Amino acid sequence: MRSRLLLISIFLLAMGATFLFRKPHSSETGGVWSITDHLYKLECLTDSLNLILADTIDVRTACVEPGGTLGALLYSTGIEGNRYLSCCDIFIDSLGWTSVHLGDTLEALYERDVLAEVRARPRNGRGYYCIEFEGTAEPVDWYWVPEEQYRRLRAVTLVVNSSVWESIANGAVPEDLTPSGQIVTRRDSVRQVAYIKGFENELANRLFIYDIDFYYDVQPGDSVWVLLEENRYPGSSETTFRRIIAAKYDFALGGMTEAIPFFHQPDSLAPDGSAIILDHYHRDGASLRTMFLKMPVPFGRVSSPYSDSRMHPVLGYTRAHRGIDYAAPMGTEIYVVGDGVITVRAFTGGYGNMVRVRHANGYETGYGHMNGYAAHQEIGSYVRQGDVIGYVGSTGLSTGPHVHFEMKKNGSYVNPASEILPPANPLLANDLDYFMLQLPVLESTWSLMAGMDIPVSPPQSTDPNDTSTE
Ligand SMILES: [Zn+2]
């Protein structure tokens, strides 16, 4: 506990110093609605914040010595077994790091003793090779990181007048999104749309999907405060959206819905039982999520419900349909409805290209007729609720583009629509204590960053939209 408090103190000092040495950066945009608060650029803080939240991050470093090999480097940072083999393959075959030289270094980042990332820095290179594990046995991604890339935290407050998309477009897109600071070329437009889409998706389709109906609950005059994280590429003067760290949606009609961050390990679903993930909670530690999304496609239309017997449209005879078909345009993203591990990812006859995922509590879901699979996933990959696992298609026995969605509990088919879907796990015991301890610290930190008192919901919410206690 003492070390945590120490960390927090160090972080606050760093915060204060950064705050003093940086000028606020205000941004005014015209139009029907405007930014209400300054945008502050706060580079260098992400790592510090993550350090507090993730509790322990351990970096093991090794340097190539005379006669040293890649294998020796990996071993000396604790990388063994399958991870060792994957790292060798990726460094040599995929990333083209074919020979190590004296002075090259390797860093292995562990979060709570789970390998999260491996970074290799060639002594003369201007950047590093990165292999991401995110706690899983198999790498999830790998790439070259130019030296100057870094992550940036920003706090923004948006006033909603019509749509969330518009609010983001007018109030959250950073001025340094593009090299010219303006949207001039087609590439600029693509960057802008990608930024807004990423932001909106995270806010509306992920964080607040259960708490706020963005078609009916949103009123002019609502405001939303967001602490977000961006990737910054000064070399190409580019900024991309990464994720939302915290958000508070303040309803004009009263009430507030909050998403408070907590970094933790999920239950024993990942192949090796752990991963560090960012999850969001209400103030009381209740999860913002339920265990399963309502459906695996956005705006899906039920084209064939679950039934014990029906006339099969292709086979022409009566056969039970133990799943729900959602019609959606070819290529629509298919989301995994809950956290889990991919167990099947193959062409399976009638259901065409199919992905199956094993979840907690004896649940399993399947998604059929896919046109294609998401990149960087395979059998054994850990996927999080809302991750894209494939794209709508019409493979197998199918009359048109749709996703066949099925759910099993303890090996037997259940109707996903009538199954009582359990809420995702709330924070418990030590995690809850720590969450409660860090909440006021985080909020005062955010206030400092934003140069204002950030909104805090009253202890007893009277908002009818607030379902946090259910
Ligand atoms: Zn079906």
Q: What is the pLDDT of residues 5-25, one digit of tens each?
A: 334 444 443 443 333 333 333
Residue 183, pLDDT above cutoff 50: yes
Residue 325 CA, ligand 1 centroid: distance in Å: 5
385 CA from centroid of ligand 1 (Å): 21
pLDDT of residue 316: 61
Q: What rounded mean pLDDT belongs to the chain?
A: 77
How remote is the CA of residue 377 from the centroid of ligand 1, in Å? 24
For the purposes of burial, counting CB atoms within 10 Å of the CB of 378, is it exposed (0-12), middle (13-18) or buried (19 or more)?
exposed
d(CA 413, ligand 1 centre) in Å: 13
Q: Ligand 1 centre from 405 Cα, in Å?
A: 7
Read off the pLDDT of each residue in 18-40 and give the average, rounded to a whole number. 29
Report, as an integer, the average pLDDT of 292-311: 78
Ligand 1 centre from 297 Cα, in Å? 14
In degrees rounded to 5, what are phi and psi of residue 284? -90, 5
Q: Domain 301-414 is in which class?
A: mainly beta
Centroid of ligand 1 to alpha carbon of 210 (angstroms): 26
Q: For residue 253, what pLDDT is reported?
A: 87
- Hey, what's the torsion of the CAs at 156, 202, 261, 26, to 10 degrees? -10
Distance 295 CA to ligand 1 centre (A): 14
Residue 386 Cα, ligand 1 centroid: separation in angstroms? 21
Calpha distance 343→363 (Å, rounded): 12
333 phi and psi angles, rounded to 5 deg: -65, 135
Domain extent listing, the chain:
1-289+424-470, 301-414
Expressed in angstroms and rounded, the spacing between residue 321 Cα and the centre of ligand 1 is: 6
- CA end-to-end distance (rounded Å), the chain: 32
User: Strand, helix or coil at 73?
Assistant: helix
> How many angstroms is it from 86 CA to the middle of ligand 1?
37
Give burial (CB, 10 Å; 0-12/13-18/19+) of 116: buried
Q: For the chain, what percent of residues have pLDDT higher than 90? A: 23
pLDDT tens string 393-422: 999 998 899 999 999 988 999 888 776 566
How many angstroms separate the CA atoms of 390 and 369, rounded? 10
Q: Give CA–CA dist 463/249, Å, rounded.
A: 12
Distance from Cα 350 to the centre of ligand 1, integer Å: 10
> Is residue 53 predicted with pLDDT exceeding 70?
no
CA–centroid distance, 381 to ligand 1, in Å, is 25
> How much distance in Å is there from the Cα of 105 to the middle of ligand 1?
52
Q: What pLDDT score was predicted for residue 314?
A: 63
Mean pLDDT of all residues in 40-63: 52
Which residue has tokens 């009818």? 464
3-state class (DSSP) for residue 87: helix
Strand residues in 45-104 grouped as ranges (E):
57-63
CA of 391 to the centre of ligand 1 (A): 15
* pLDDT value of residue 40: 29
Ligand 1 centroid to residue 374 C-alpha, Å: 21
Render pLDDT for 254-288 as a digit per residue (tens, 0 to 9).
888 899 988 765 554 433 333 456 788 888 888 88
The CA 294 to ligand 1 mean position distance, Å, reads 16
For ion ligand 1, residues whose CB falls within 5 Å: 323, 325, 404
Q: Given a cut of 80, is residue 121 above it in pLDDT? A: yes
Beta strands in 209-293 (DSSP E): 223-233, 238-250, 256-264, 277-281
Q: Which residue has the higher pLDDT, 6 or 109?
A: 109
At 129-152, the pLDDT tens digits run: 989 887 677 888 898 877 666 778
pLDDT number for residue 310:
58
User: Cα(176)–Cα(179) distance, rounded to whole angstroms?
Assistant: 7
In this prediction, residues 342-349 reach a mean pLDDT of 94
Residues facing residue 231 across a β-bridge = 151, 240
Which CATH number does 1-289+424-470 carry? Answer: 3.10.450.350
Do 94 and 141 touch, CB atoms closer than 8 A?
no
DSSP of 175-212: TTSSTTSS--SHHHHHHHHHHHHHHHIIIIIIISTTT-
Which pLDDT band holds residue 465 (cuts at 50, 70, 90)? very low
Q: How far is the CA of 211 from the centre of ligand 1 (A)?
A: 29
Residue type present at position 447: S
**DSSP character string of 125-166:** -SEEEEEE-TTSSS--EEEEEETT-EEEEEEEEEE-SS-HHH
Per-residue model confidence (pLDDT) at position 421: 62
CB 267 within 8 A of CB 126: no
CA of 271 to the centre of ligand 1 (A): 29
pLDDT for the residue numbered 408: 93
Question: What separation in Å is there between the alpha carbon of 101 and the centre of ligand 1?
Answer: 56
Q: How far is the CA of 406 from the centre of ligand 1 (A)?
A: 8
